[in-house]
Chain A
Amino acid sequence: MGNEEPIRVVLAKIGLDGHDRGIKVVARILRDGGMEVIYLGLRQTAAMIVAAVEQEDADAVGVSMHNGGHLTLAPRLVQALRDAGMETPVVVGGIIPDDDVQPLHDNGVAVVLGPGASADEVVASVREAVLANRA
């Protein structure tokens, strides 16, 4: 009570992609930005993430991808959330070519963060996406 309610974010590695250093850095950045981070770990499917978002009542989902699967997996995750009746914003981070950013947005991804994103940008963009969805 009193203070603003903390933002709850589910973070996961989706599909076959073991590069989890980046997402651990992001988890720490969001924590230090005052958010509650629920980390699901490696090899998650869209269905597993949806189940976690449901149980955790998360405000946002972040997935990190370094295997080139983002154009397939990210839209699938967005669709799975919408099919479950949730408007939860999806944030995609990792190695995303510039040309793929717009197609991701077209498929409902709220934010795309590349390797150059600063800690402040990460926190601000997640917060913005969550507040836009709450409004």
Chain B
Amino acid sequence: MRSVAELQPLFDEAIAGNRRALGRLLTVIERGGQAAAAVNDLAHAAGGNGHVIGITGAPGSGKSTVTGQMLRLLVAAGAKPAVLAVDPSSPLTGGAILGDRLRMDDGPDSFIRSMATRGQSGGLAVAVPAAVRLFDACGYNPIIIETVGVGQVEVDITGAADTCLVVVAPGWGDAVQANKAGLLEVADVFVVNKSDTPGAKDVRRDLEFMLDLGHVSGHEARRGSRPNIVNTDGISGDGIDEVLAEAATHLEQLATNGKLADRRRRRIGLEIRSHLQQQLEQTVDMLIEGTVGAAHIDQVANGSMRPSEAVQALHARLYDG
């Protein structure tokens, strides 16, 4: 592995525009540990003010196709966008098929990186903010995080972006589905994709109804604004310019009403919390798998100790090392 001292020159190269250096640093971030933390600190010191856009939705709703069309327009307008495309790893083998890139046009003015979720131990929640910060330090703007809207970590990460786009497509369900908690609550802009197909008007109507209820219940006031809905056709690219305009407007709104700083502060809170959770989890694992943990488990198993006593005793040991 790479030592921390080796990272500074690699980081300098990445900042200077060396794409291979950036690719390698993203790998360092994915692997976690001290080297990843060092890269994160370097990126933090370098700073940046890029627009972080989350894009999420059910599998097959067209996230990657919409993202690909956004990239095309952004590059044509002279922007330098980056995409972090997250796909799930198999819990059985650890393998993954990362197929988002397939639907995006690659070019010298954009940077696309695929990332697998790699287990549930909080690795993703730690790696994504660091990767975003690195893109930001390298001058990429906007930075788009694409995740499947399944799994709490993915929803949390995407929902913590400056602007969160939720892609829905006809066939996803009725108005009751639209009111279930989760994915739809984190949206700042709704993208009704595949709007060339029948059903698209129904989807829009159901979303409008859900947003009406959010107005009544107070959710809208807490979130800051009522999300707009844009109809798109990912294949032809219809409506994508409107998605970008809505995202830009949303950022302006946040900057004006002072909520942008709040959001970014909350995102840092989520990141630091994830780091602490990861460390705690490792400490707990070591304790449980060690001799002390085994002794307590044995005593509970043979009836000589109550479960609550074992928890209390082990909890006390967590803090005296």
Query: A57 touches which one: B23, B106, B108, B118 (CB < 8 A)?
Result: B23
| Chain B interface, DSSP helix/strand/loop, else mixed | mixed
Question: Contacts A1-B32, A55-B113, A56-B113: A6 and B98 contacting too (C-beta < 8 A)?
Answer: no
Q: How far is the CA of A3 from the CA of B91 in the complex (A)?
A: 14
> Contact residue range for chain B?
20 to 34
Q: How far is the CA of A42 from the CA of B97 in the complex (A)?
A: 16
Q: How far is the CA of A31 from the CA of B92 in the complex (A)?
A: 10
B20→A34 contact, CB < 8 A: no
B20→A86 contact, CB < 8 A: yes
A38→B98 contact, CB < 8 A: yes
B203 within 8 Å of A (CB atoms): no
Q: How far is the CA of A36 from the CA of B19 in the complex (A)?
A: 20
B94→A52 contact, CB < 8 A: no
Number of A-B contacts (CB under 8 A): 80
* B123 nearest in chain A by CB position: A1
Question: Contacts A6-B116, A48-B106: A27 and B19 contacting too (C-beta < 8 A)?
Answer: no
B31→A39 contact, CB < 8 A: no
What residues of B have a CB within 8 angstroms of the CB of A5 in the complex? 31
A32→B112 contact, CB < 8 A: no
Contact mask for chain B residues 227-249; partner A; CB cutoff 8 A; 1 contact, 0 none:
00000000000000000000000
A54→B20 contact, CB < 8 A: yes
A1→B96 contact, CB < 8 A: no
Query: A40 touches which one: B32, B95, B96, B102 (CB < 8 A)?
Result: B102
Question: Contacts A1-B32, A1-B33, A6-B116: A55 and B19 contacting too (C-beta < 8 A)?
Answer: yes
Q: How far is the CA of A48 from the CA of B106 in the complex (A)?
A: 8
A39→B19 contact, CB < 8 A: no
A35 within 8 Å of B (CB atoms): yes
B95→A33 contact, CB < 8 A: yes
B106→A39 contact, CB < 8 A: no
| Chain A interface, DSSP helix/strand/loop, else mixed | mixed
A55→B95 contact, CB < 8 A: no
Q: Name which of B89, B97, B101, B108 has the most chain A CB atoms within 10 A of its CB.
A: B97
Considering only residues 27-81 of chain B, those with a C-beta below 8 Å from chain A are 27, 31-33
A51 within 8 Å of B (CB atoms): yes
**Nearest CB on B from A135, distance (A):** 14
A36→B24 contact, CB < 8 A: no
**Nearest CB on B from A57, distance (A):** 4
B93 within 8 Å of A (CB atoms): yes
**Nearest CB on B from A49, distance (A):** 10
Considering only residues 161-195 of chain B, those with a C-beta below 8 Å from chain A are none
What residues of B have a CB within 8 angstroms of the CB of A86 in the complex? 20
Q: How far is the CA of A86 from the CA of B94 in the complex (A)?
A: 26
**Nearest CB on A from B144, distance (A):** 14
Q: How far is the CA of A27 from the CA of B96 in the complex (A)?
A: 9
B95→A36 contact, CB < 8 A: yes
Contact mask for chain A residues 26-65; partner B; CB cutoff 8 A; 1 contact, 0 none:
0110111111111111000000100110111100000000
What residues of A have a CB within 8 angstroms of the CB of B116 in the complex? 6, 36
A34→B33 contact, CB < 8 A: no
Query: A31 touches which one: B19, B90, B102, B111 (CB < 8 A)?
Result: B90
Considering only residues 101-149 of chain B, those with a C-beta below 8 Å from chain A are 101-102, 106, 108, 111-114, 116, 118
B23→A55 contact, CB < 8 A: yes
> Can you list 9 A-B pairs with a CB-CB distance of less than 8 A?
A6-B95, A27-B97, A31-B96, A38-B114, A39-B97, A52-B101, A54-B23, A56-B101, A84-B20
Q: Which of A's residues lie within 8 Å of B, judged by CB? A: 1, 3, 5-6, 8, 27-28, 30-41, 48, 51-52, 54-57, 84-86
Per CB-CB distance, the 8 closest pairs between chain A and chain B, nearest first, are A31-B95, A57-B23, A41-B102, A57-B27, A34-B93, A34-B94, A38-B98, A34-B95
